[in-house]
Amino acid sequence: MVYLLESKSKYDLTSTIYSGQSFVWNPVISGEYGEDSIHEGIIGNERYRIRSALHGLEIILPLKLSKKTQAILGNYFRLDDDLDDIFQSVPRNDGYLSKLIIRYKGLHLLRQDPWECLVSFICSSNNNMKRIRRMIDNIRQFCGPKHSDINGIFSSFPSAKILMDFGEQNLREIGLGFRAKYVYETAVIMVEENVDLNEVRNFSYQDALSFLTRFPGVGDKVANCVMLFSLDQLRAFPVDVWIKRVLRQEYFFCDGINISDNMLRPNSQKLFGPNAGYVNQYLFHSR
DNA sequence: ATCGAACCTCCAAT
DNA sequence: AATTGGAGGTTCG
């Protein structure tokens, strides 16, 4: 018995889980990223194996899917997103973007756990995918609560309290480098102020941005990542070096005056509208 | 207000 | 084989 979760729009699983928004997925057979490969990842306290289906996702593991688990997956993978609807709001006369939307049809944003997302993107600074994955993996292996399923033991992502108790020095020793201090201090604030990041979901864009950038190691880029990948702020628009290159090459080439780096985000948001973040993911994926 | 360098560590490219 | 420079960013001077 295999469970099928239907998505509202076509779903491109591999593009979605390997497009730099999440660092927890891996192909079960190393190096297999093909259309019908199986991928493994941990969401919450459960380990999943999934593969793409005709119009949605096929859940290989766990064997039995409760309604609650189905809801968790639907939520995480944003299965209800209507991509046609979402892209209604972007400029129509944009040939470059239109092509990307067609080429990467089915690429979705994820809705991750905000705490895990925050730590992940603090770790992403001045860093590459491969090492970010290892850092996040180490955090889970060394600090995370242990669970088991039919394939053995695995660890879920630790709470802020656990990371705080683990301490800066230990975080350093498992490979976070200078980010250890940021993650530790962020965890301390989370615990001391008893922060519930899920509440930030209901904040305005500006309030969410100000709230998140108070955390050490969190600037405009990281905050926008967390807002977009975990807090339902679809107008969030993270500008990293790759996005910067696309923007300067395709959109904001000098027409008279040079547009400064820190105006790229606001200008892009104005240009791409309330779902600018979805556009961002397609622009990013094209690089 | 703006700018560049430093920050840890890994690893691919010399 | 050893060494260097850059990596999806933030902070500090």
How far: A175 CA to B10 C1' (Å)? 10
Instruction: State pLDDT tens for residues A235-282.
Output: 999 998 888 888 988 888 765 456 788 888 999 999 999 999 999 999
Nucleotides of B under 7 A from a protein CB: 3, 6-11
pLDDT in tens, A105-124: 999 999 999 999 999 999 99
Q: Read off the pLDDT of residues A158-186 as tens digits, 9 standing for 90 and up.
A: 999 999 999 999 999 899 999 999 999 99
Give the DSSP H or E segment for A48: strand A46-53
Strand B contact at CB of residue A177, distance < 7 A: yes
C6 C1' – A129 CA distance, angstroms?
Answer: 14
Provide the pLDDT for residue A66. 95
Chain C bases near protein Cβ (<7 Å): 7-11
Burial (CB count within 10 angstroms: exposed 0-12, middle 13-18, buried 19+), residue A126: exposed
What local confidence, expressed as pLDDT, does residue A286 receive? 83
Residue pointed to by tokens 């100000």 = A210
Q: What is the pLDDT of residues A181-224, one digit of tens each?
A: 999 999 999 999 999 999 999 999 999 999 999 999 999 999 99
Residue nearest to nucleotide B7 (CA to C1'): A178
Which protein residues have Cβ within 7 A of any strand C atom? A 19-21, 124-129, 178, 182, 213, 215-223, 238-242, 284
Single-letter residue type at A80 = D
Q: Is the CB of A44 under 7 A from strand B?
A: no
Q: Residues of A67-80 as b/e, b for ≥16 C-beta within 10 angstroms?
A: eebeebbbebbbbe
Q: How far is the CA of A134 from the C1' of C1 (A)?
A: 27
What is the distance in angstroms measured between the alpha-carbon CA of A272 and the sugar C1' of C10?
Answer: 26
| Tens of pLDDT, residues A34-45 | 888 999 999 999
A130 CB closer than 7 A to any strand B atom: yes
Look at residue A70 and tell me whether its pLDDT is greater than 90.
Answer: yes
CA of A127 to C1' of B12 (A): 14
CA atoms lying within 13 Å on the CB side of residue A169: 0
pTM: 0.95
Whole-number pLDDT of residue A144: 95
DSSP-assigned letter for residue A172: I
Six token digits for residue A54:
């005709």
What was the pLDDT predicted at A256? 47
Taking only the tens place, the pLDDT of each residue in A78-108 is 999 999 999 999 999 999 999 999 999 999 9
Q: Which pLDDT belongs to residue A35?
A: 85
Quick one: what percent of chain A has pLDDT higher than 70? 98
Instruction: Kindly tell me if the per-residue pLDDT of A157 is higher than 80.
Output: yes
CB A270 within 8 A of CB A287: no
The predicted structure's pLDDT at residue A216:
93
Answer yes or no: is pLDDT of A4 > 90.
Answer: yes
State residue A261's pLDDT score. Answer: 82
Segment A150-154 long-range contacts (CB within 8 Å, at least 24 positions apart): A150/A61, A150/A63, A151/A47, A151/A61, A154/A42, A154/A47
**C13 C1' – A161 CA distance, angstroms?**
33
Q: How far apart are CA A156 and CA A133, in angstroms?
A: 14
Give yes or no for a contact between A11 and A55, defined as CB atoms under 8 angstroms apart. yes
**pLDDT tens digit sequence for A131-156:** 899 999 999 999 999 999 999 999 99
